[in-house]
Structures are given as structure tokens and as C-alpha cells.
Amino acid sequence: MRVKELSEVLGVEPIQPEFEDAEILGGYTSDLLSDVMAHATSGSVLITIQAHKNTVAVAGLVGILAIILANGRPVPEDMVEAARKEGIAIFRSQETQFVLSGKLYTLLTSSQ
Amino acid sequence: MSSTIPLNTQESPPFLLDLIYRLKVKDVMTKEVITARKETPLRQIQCIMKEKWITGVPITDEEGKRIFGIISMDDIIRALDGGYIEDPAERWMSRNLIVLEEDMPLQFAISYLDKFRYGRFPVLNKDRELVGIITSRDIIIALLVEANKEVEKLEQRIVQPPSRPGEEAWLLYHVRKYDFENAGKASAGLKKLLMERNLDPKTLRRVSVAAYELEMNLVVHSDGGTLSFRIGKDRVEIEAKDKGPGIADVEKAMEEGFSTANEWIRSLGFGAGMGLPNAKRVSDEFTIESRLGEGTTVRAVIYISPSSAS
């Protein structure tokens, strides 16, 4: 599955659509940025409620392709701008991290 | 009215020297010049000075382009003293004018202010028309503005100190306390540089983790400090050095899950007590020196050549 397909298959709202489309290799769900830094893998989708630009900085360093913000969190403009510069996609969903993670996990494991 | 600007053109820092040669008189001068005519009474010029808060008025033609002389505050004082304040400007104006050309470097204006002990100099263009006036105040403001810009650059951006032998690059960043706006920029800068060198992704990841955690520690816990990266042939050395407050119990700080971060920092996703353990885990060498009330220096080294990698 590719980043471009996320919005349709997961029903998430695209917030930052300027990204380099790539194959999604995995996913990680966490709100602790050090934890993301330590355990998320390159080519992943990050599911989090941390809607601020430090999340983008971590995502950039780790090589995360897309950030999905759960629980309909408001997204500040400077976060969108930072993600645009890094070419990282941002999506938003009204659903919880639990639900989103479950859906993404199912999609990723079934498409392999 | 005479003022000496303490910029010795020999011993000033290179930055200031560059600046006063790079800036031109026209970049610094006041462009809207208040002028008077030859027949204007000195009394009226006195009023103009008071009203406009200026200390010198060029005497020009109607268009304000051709300059004949200048009346300074000194001339006015003398006129009041001598009882000829109602005389026209033409009679008492200084006629040996020292003027600057708009394309001259600012350095000329500074040395003129020192050499001639005037408070201001009219500025002319190539056609000898009056286009501005420059005072020591204009110069001080311009220098402050430029110096501020430079300081800002130094604080936020990389300083590129000379490399030591065996070092391919040395980056130094200043990191401010609670500056979440710029947090991560230093690590991103290092990552970019290493990507250009085709470092393998696994090692790059380890370097990124160590750099980012130490950078965030400076932001979250320190009173500000520096983050330096030394990239050698076989190693990347990261040093985070801060000005305080120091770590009370280093052993405790190294424990996973232990953190002294406050609530709002935790709400941003930091302060989970994973920073130092994470940084240590990815490093080949890791040391902390800390003194309470003085500061902390953390050094992390990651080997980058396959032969010496752990």
C-alpha cells in the first residue's frame, strides 16, 4: 500500500498533501517522541495525537512517510508548513489511535 | 556635536570591518533631508531644528538639490550669542563643506566623523545633487541592526569553526532553553550532511537518535547550551554542553523512565525519561559529566567506518 491510498482506504482527511508517494513499510503508534525516535522504523506511518511541529522533526529524522493525527486533533499551520518542507504527509481522523492502528495493521498485513 | 565612533578600522572584529565596507553611505543615510534657502533667517532655522529634532540644516536651491552651505546648531548658538539671529542663512553658513558620495563605503563616513569632528555630512550623488544626510546616529542604528541580524544568525544557525586535523567537518549549534520552535534543527542539519556522505541507513539512524535526544535534552532540561558535531573519517562525535543547572543524580538520570520534566513538557510528548538511555543505547562511547549549579557535558561517539563499527 502506498501513502497516496491512505486517505481512501482509511477514510482519513488529507491535511498536508504535498509528499513523495512511497510504499508503506510499517506503522507505529505512540505519543512519546523519544519512543518514536527509538522504535519507529523508516518508511512507516505514525499514528499519534501529538499535533505540533516537533512531531514532524522526529518523523523527518526517523524517515516516517506520513503522520495520522487521531481524535480529530486541530493541526497548527506551522506543523503543516514544516511537513510540507520535509515532504511528509499529514492526515487527520476522528477515530482513536486504537481503531486506526487496528485498521492499518489489517491493511498492511493483508496486502503482503 | 562631534562624536567619535569607537571602530578602530585596524583592530575591529572582521565582521564589523566587513560590514562597514559592505554597507554604502546611501544604505545608512537619512534620505528625507530638511533644507532651508539662502535667504531663510537663522531664527527660522532654529525653529526647524527644534521642531524636527535635528542639528544641521543644509542650505540649498528651491529643489533642495544644489547645496551651498550648512547651518549647524553651533552656528545658531553663535548667532544667539552675537545677536544676529535674524540674519539670513547665507551670511553665516559654513561654505567649506565636507560631503560624502552616496556610493562610498560606510567606513568613509565613520572616518570622516572622526577626522573632521562634524556631527553630520551631506551626501551627494554622482551629479553632485544632495540626496541625503548622515549622522553618527544613523551609523549607530545601522550597525546595531546589522549586528543584531548577525547575532540572530549565529544563535540559530551553524557556525563553521575551523576543522582540526582528521576532522572532515565540525558543526556547532546554539540551543536555547524551551525553544521548541527550532528544536530538531541541529539534528536535521547533521542528518542532511551525513546523507550527502552516503552513510548507511542504520548508522545514520543511530547518529540521528543520539543527536536528537541530546538536542532535546538541551531544550527541555538545560539553561541553554551548545550542540557540536564533529565528523571524522571513522566516527561522529556529538557533544552537548550546557550552562546549567546540572544533574543531581546522573545514575538516576540514566534510568529508563526517570524524568524531571514538568507537565506541559510531557504533554508535548517529551520528558518520558527515555532521552539519555536512548542516546546511550545507540552510541559506541557515551559519557556524562555534570556538576550541580555549573552544567552538564554529554559526549556520544558513534563509529562510522565498517572496520571499527561495533
This complex has an ipTM of 0.81
* Chain A residues in contact with chain B using a Cβ-Cβ cutoff of 8 Å: 31-35, 37-38, 42, 48, 50, 52-55, 57-58, 60-63
The arithmetic mean of pLDDT across residues B57-74, rounded, is 95
Distance from CA of B230 to the nearest CA of A (A): 19
User: Which tens digit of pLDDT belongs to each residue from B190-233?
Assistant: 998 898 888 888 999 999 999 999 999 999 999 889 999 999 88
Beta bridge partners of B24: B105
All three cell numbers of B103: 556610493
User: Which tens digit of pLDDT belongs to each residue from A50-105?
Assistant: 999 999 999 999 999 999 999 998 898 889 999 999 999 999 999 999 999 999 99
Provide the pLDDT for residue B160: 57
Helix (H, G, I), strand (E, B) or coil at B14: helix
Cis peptide before B245 (omega within 30 of 0): yes
Q: Residue B165: pLDDT above 60?
A: no
All three cell numbers of B299: 559526549
Res. B310 pLDDT band, cuts 50 70 90: very low
User: Which tens digit of pLDDT belongs to each residue from A26-53?
Assistant: 999 999 999 999 999 999 999 999 999 9
Half-sphere exposure of B211 (CA within 13 A, CB side): 34
DSSP secondary structure code for residue B222 in this structure: S
- Output A15-20 pairs: Cβ under 8 A, ≥24 positions apart: A15/A69, A15/A75, A15/A80, A15/A90, A15/A91, A15/A92, A16/A80, A16/A83, A16/A84, A16/A88, A16/A89, A16/A90, A17/A89, A18/A84, A18/A87, A19/A65, A19/A66, A19/A83, A19/A87, A19/A88, A19/A89, A20/A87
Chain B residue numbers with beta carbons less than 8 Å from the beta carbon of A34 are 213, 216, 270, 272, 274-275, 278
Res. A18 pLDDT band, cuts 50 70 90: very high
The arithmetic mean of pLDDT across residues B106-120, rounded, is 84
User: Which tens digit of pLDDT belongs to each residue from B54-63?
Assistant: 999 999 999 9
Check residues B131 and B126 and name the one with the higher pLDDT: B131
Res. A24 pLDDT band, cuts 50 70 90: very high
Chain B residue numbers with beta carbons less than 8 Å from the beta carbon of A33 are 216, 268-270
Decide if B270 and A54 are in contact by the 8 Å CB cutoff: yes
Q: Residue A112: pLDDT above 80?
A: no
Locate the chain B residue with the closest alpha carbon to A30.
Answer: B269
Which of B181, B187, B268 is the closest to A61 by Cβ?
B187
Most confident of A32-41, B7-16, B173-182: A32-41
Decide if A50 and B268 are in contact by the 8 Å CB cutoff: yes
